[in-house]
Structure 1
Amino acid sequence: MTPALASAAMPLLRLMDAEAAHGLALRALALGLAGRDEAPDPPSLAIRAMGLSFRNPIGLAAGFDKDAVAVLPLLRLGFGFVEAGTVTPRPQPGNPRPRLFRLTEDRAVINRMGFNNAGLEACLARLAALPRPLPGVLGANVGVNKEGADPERDYPMLCRALAPHADYVTINISSPNTPGLRDLQGEERLAAILAAVDPPGLGRPVLVKLAPDLAEEALGPVVEVCVRAGVAGLIVSNTTLARPASLRSPHRGEAGGLSGAPLFGPSTEMLRRAHRLARGRLVLIGAGGVASGAEAYAKIRAGASLVQLYTGFAYGGPALIGRIKRELAECLARDGFARVSDAVGVES
């Protein structure tokens, strides 16, 4: 099966409950039923960032494959990188169902999953079993359990455990669905966590994933804390608690984090501010509302070296990846850029 044929099944999946459809899609991916993209990537899309080589800058954000059950099939769809997780030290069921809602009219999703995952031990076993080398870059996203968490203990332990099996590790302090997690974005608390993690001593690039709802005046201190700690980059951004007045779906009032098209504007503006503040000292990954090559290109022009999808992929299916790459290459060529890196931050 090709990615295009797999995408043709998306309307059928949308007839199912959102979480059930997601589970079915993951099982199909794990079985290789979504096919693979055999087309070579345009040379202009290759980029080196954080000391890693990416065949293209389009990645899958954490949250889609929480337990690393489909890493290889996802990379074979054409992603330049895949971020597994969020992984917590111990297994946890997450929040009660229903906890995942399609806002179809808004091309958006609201989730309050609550870091449901099988825990570190299960994830490590799957990552260790992957055939190497992989056809792309692998990231691991880590978080803390809802109960019994000690961030200064748990994040370093998770990072050390996963670093031998991943190309980079992301510290998630920005999910809105674990009580108190976003408080860890405070300057002093974040500095203490990063000191415990010791990014330069980990042997892998460490990223920090931020919330789009972070106060504007707080972004500068967070950037400086990350630079001082030796963090390689930031992911801008996670889901938002905001509810734009433009939302039309009957699910718009559900609690949880909003992702998808309504997040594109605010997350891109935050990305632009982060690029100005970082002044080349941090690699930025742009996430939030990307569903086309033009939107990926806008993130890159705003300061992102790499771009992540989630909701756009959930709606568009496997065929979306190839389409975004083709459109992005066309945007670069149209504007006279020989490679992605030439366009990073030209509009910040």
Structure 2
Amino acid sequence: MAPQPKRFAPLRTLGIFVASVTAVYMGLTAYENQDNLIRTFIMPAVRRLPVEMSHNLALLACKYRINPVSQHLDDYNLNTSFFGRLISNPIGIAAGFDRNAEALHGLKDLGFGFIEIGSVTPMAQKGNGRTRLFGLYEDRKIMGSSDGFDSDGHYVVMQRLRRALARNDFKAIVGVNLGSNRSSTTPTRDYATGVKTFGPVADFLVVNATSASTASGQPSWANKKQLIEVLTAVNNARSQLQQRKTVPILLKLSPDMTLDEMKDTAAVISMRKCRVEGLIVANSTATRDNLSPSLVSHDNNGALSGAPLRERSTKQIARMYELTKGSVTIVGVGGISSGRDAFEKIQAGASFVQLYTALVYEGPDLVDRIKGELSMLLKESGYANVRDAVGSNYKQYLPGK
């Protein structure tokens, strides 16, 4: 009888490759020149893996603190205030990388100024499908997502967050991105519950009411009335918290909003009952603008982050800065992989910026490189501090300019 073909050979080969990469990664960290070794040997191997696996390896490296601790001394011109808290730099990790508060210490080690976890839903839920993250370009400038909030739920994430904050060696600003369960018939209540659960311990909360990674690719709400309903409930829940200091609330926006929708949003958050302290601009995009037909045809119809979002989010930052007259703090996110990218978003109106996609494929030293480049650009442009650059050239980035 002829031998049967080995049906699982590709999976076995992939498993061996992943195990080898992980083993080498852990072994190389024993040497002194860790950054160069990781950049030269580890990251090229990681880029050959499926994107979801690359993300998981990056998360594990942070979870078990395998990455070298940053020795970078942030320049004084990067020091700023994050809603009343002094931070050494304005660079944060965006929601989506550490959804369930598993890698807080490792992310702090990388030198981030602040950390955002989530999205966290009230009840635990799995993502939409087995392959929830996917890459489109060979150089991984684009990451796609169709996860639909893969979350361990409020209770589990809350326990992890409490344990991390209780440690004396953990001094970091941590925010929680709040989501709603897919099966929920009362999404407004889900956000209010999130405020009550995490408000007493989180340094800031994010209302993620616009998810481009849902099956339909549409925002969780689609009109001004629903936005008022959710933000009113969130503010009511915050007012009931028994604590001396009010926890800041930020609203995360979709990059696919029309100008009228942005105007409506600016009008809503100006209402006392719907007030927020900040905006995060922007979430991943459901559009396929400027993508070649070959890329559009095999991207799983999920939401995209990374390179396609960079220019779009920068223009939206400028627009929201204009509409709010600079009265609301903006966190810029989308396609940042260099100090120049961060500088553009700050000049457009962002007080802080966040990374995600580039970190997975460029490695742990990316944070320090961006901070160094940003500091140099501020000096070359004549800004004594990053705060001075916020919105300094927003008109240049307005759509049509």
Same fold by TM (over 0.5)? yes
After superposition, where does 1:307-346 map in structure 2 within 5 Å? 307-346=353-392
Question: Are 1:117 and 2:160 matched, yes or no?
Answer: no
1:103 aligned to which of 136, 140, 145:
136
One-letter amino acid of the structure 2 residue matched with residue 241 of structure 1: A
> Is residue 260–residue 311 contact of structure 1 (8 Å, CA) maintained in 2?
yes
Match of 1:205 in 2: 248
TM alignment of 1:275-294, pairs within 5 A: 275-294=321-340
* Aligned counterparts of 1:122 and 1:209: Cα–Cα separation in 2: 23
Q: Say if 2:146 and 2:215, in contact at 8 Å, map to a contact too.
A: no
Instruction: Report the 3-state secondary structure (helix = DSSP H, G, I; strand = E; otherwise coil) of the residue aligned with 1:75.
Output: helix
What SS does structure 1 have at the residue aligned with 2:206?
strand
- Residue 277 of structure 2 corresponds to residue 232 of structure 1: yes
The aligned residue for residue 213 of structure 2 is: 177
Match of 1:63 among 74, 96, 116: 96
What is the number of equivalent residue pairs in this alignment?
348
Q: Secondary structure at the match of 2:221?
A: helix
Q: Output the CA distance in 1 between the equivalents of 2:366 and 2:302.
A: 26
1:219 is the counterpart of 2:262: yes
- Of residues 204, 209, 234 in structure 2, which corresponds to 1:168? 204
Q: 2:7 aligns to what?
A: none
Shift of 1:251: 6.6
The SS at the match of 1:301 is helix
- Residues 237-276 of structure 1 aligned to structure 2 (within 5 Å): 237-247=282-292, 249=295, 253-276=299-322
Range moving further from structure 2, 101-110 or 204-213:
101-110
- Give the Cα separation in 1 of the matches to 2:374 and 2:298: 31
The alpha carbon displacement at 1:208 in A equals 0.5
3-state SS of the aligned residue for 1:165?
Answer: coil
RMSD: 1.9
Look up the SS of the partner of 2:366 in the other structure: helix
- For 1:117 and 1:12, the matched residues in 2 are separated by 28
- Structure 2 residue aligned with 1:151: 187
Query: Identity over aligned residues, as a percent?
Result: 37
| Deviates further, 28-37 or 14-23 | 14-23
Determine which structure has more spread, i.e. the larger CA radius of gyration.
2
Instruction: Give a deviation string over 1:311-335, Cα, whole Å, max 9, x none.
Output: 1111211111000000000000001
Question: How far did residue 85 of structure 1 move?
Answer: 0.5
Distance 1:87 1:127, change over 3 A: same
User: C-alpha distance in 2, partners of 1:43/1:149?
Assistant: 48
Q: Distance in 2 between matches of 1:73 and 1:321?
A: 13
- Give the aligned residue type for 2:214: T
- Shift of the 227–53 alpha-carbon distance from structure 1 to 2, 3 Å rule, reads farther
Quick check: 121-130 or 143-152, which moved more? 143-152
TM-score, normalised to structure 1, is 0.95
1:280 is displaced (CA, Å) by 2.3
Is residue 55–residue 136 contact of structure 1 (8 Å, CA) maintained in 2?
A: no
The amino acid that maps onto 2:163 is A
Question: Would you say the 8 A contact 1:232–1:283 is kept in 2?
Answer: yes
Cα offsets for 1:208-240 (capped at 9, x unmatched) = 100000111110111221232220010000011
Residue 49 of structure 2, aligned match among 16, 24, 38: 16
Q: C-alpha separation between the residues in 2 aligned to 1:107 and 1:36?
A: 26
* TM-score, normalised with respect to structure 2: 0.83
CA separation of 1:127 and 1:156: change in aligned 2, threshold 3 A: same
Q: Is the 8 A contact 1:144 1:151 kept in 2?
A: yes
| Residue of structure 2 in register with 1:35 after alignment | 68
Establish whether residue 301 from structure 1 lines up as the match of residue 301 from structure 2: no
- Greater shift, 126-135 or 42-51, is seen at 126-135
C-alpha displacement of 1:252: 5.1
8 Å CA contact 2:145–2:303 kept in 1: the answer is: yes
Deviates more, 1:279-288 or 1:191-200: 191-200
SS of corresponding position for 2:330: strand
Mapped contact 2:179–2:207 kept (Cα < 8 A) = yes
Q: Residues 307, 89 of structure 1: CA spacing in aligned structure 2 closer, same or farther, 3 A cutoff?
A: same
Answer whether contact 1:65 1:85 (CA < 8 A) is retained. yes
Q: Is the 8 A contact 1:212 1:239 kept in 2?
A: yes
* Higher mean C-alpha deviation, range 11-20 or range 153-162: 11-20
Comparing both chains, which one has the higher relative contact order based on Cα–Cα distances under 8 Å and sequence gaps of 6 or more? 1
